[in-house]
Chains A and B, each alone.
Chain A
Amino acid sequence: MTSTSLTKPQGAGRAGDKVFSGATLAAGCLILAVLFGVALFLVIQAIPAFTAPAADIQGGKGFFAYIWPIVVGTLIAAVIALVIATPVAIGVALFISHYAPRRLASGLGYVVDLLAAIPSVVYGAWGAAFLAKEISPAYNWLANNLGWLPIFQGPASATGKTILTAGIVLAVMVLPIITSLSREIFLQTPKLHEEAALALGATRWEMIRMAVLPFGRPGIVSAVMLGLGRALGETMAVALVLSSGVLTASLIQSGNQTIAAEIALNFPEASGLKVSTLIAAGLVLFVITLGVNMIARWIITRHKEFSGAN
Chain B
Amino acid sequence: MTSTLNPVRKRSALTKGQLPKAAPYIVLALALVIGAAIMALIGFNAFGWGIVSALLFTAGLVGWSAAVEGSRKAKDKLVTCLVVGAFLVALLPLISVIWTVLVKGLPGLVDPGFLSTSMNGVTGAFDNKSVEQGAPVLGGIYHALIGTVQITLLATVISVPVGLLTAIYLVEYGEDRALARAITFFVDVMTGIPSIVAGLFAAAFFFAVVGPGTKTGAVAAVALSVLMIPVVVRSSEEMLKIVPNELREAAYALGVRKWRTILKVVIPTAISGIASGVTLAIARVIGETAPILVTAGFATSINNNVFGGWMASLPTFIYTQILNPTSPSNPGPSDQRAWGAALVLIILVMLLNLAARLVARIFAPKAGR
Contacts and interface: CB of A to CB of B under 8 A. Distances in A.
Interface of A: 13-14, 16-17, 19-21, 23-32, 34-35, 37-38, 41-42, 44-45, 87-92, 94-96, 99-100, 108, 111-112, 114-115, 117-126, 128-131, 172, 175, 179, 203-206, 208, 226, 229-230, 232-236, 239-240, 260, 263-264, 267-268, 271, 275, 278-279, 282, 285-286, 289-290, 292-294, 296-297, 310
A31 B190 contact: yes
A124 B97 CA distance: 10
Nearest to B97: A126
Interface of B: 72-73, 75-76, 78-80, 82-87, 89-91, 93-94, 96-97, 100-101, 104, 161-166, 168-170, 172-174, 179-180, 182-183, 185-198, 200-201, 203-205, 207-208, 212-213, 226, 229-230, 233, 257-260, 262-263, 283, 286-290, 293-294, 297-298, 315, 318-319, 322-323, 335, 338-339, 342, 345-346, 349-350, 353
29 contacts: A16-B257, A25-B173, A28-B174, A28-B183, A31-B166, A32-B186, A42-B201, A45-B204, A45-B207, A91-B86, A99-B80, A114-B353, A115-B93, A117-B283, A119-B286, A119-B315, A120-B290, A122-B342, A203-B72, A205-B78, A205-B80, A235-B195, A260-B196, A264-B289, A267-B203, A267-B293, A279-B200, A279-B204, A292-B192
Contacts of A108: 87
A283 to B, nearest CB: 8
A268 B297 contact: yes
Contacts, number: 277
A122 B287 contact: yes
A237 to B, nearest CB: 10
A268 B293 contact: yes
Contacts of A44: 204, 208
Interface of B, secondary structure class, is helix
Given A24-B166, A204-B76, 10 more contacts: A16-B257, A17-B257, A24-B168, A41-B205, A119-B288, A119-B289, A119-B349, A122-B287, A129-B100, A203-B72
A133 to B, nearest CB: 11
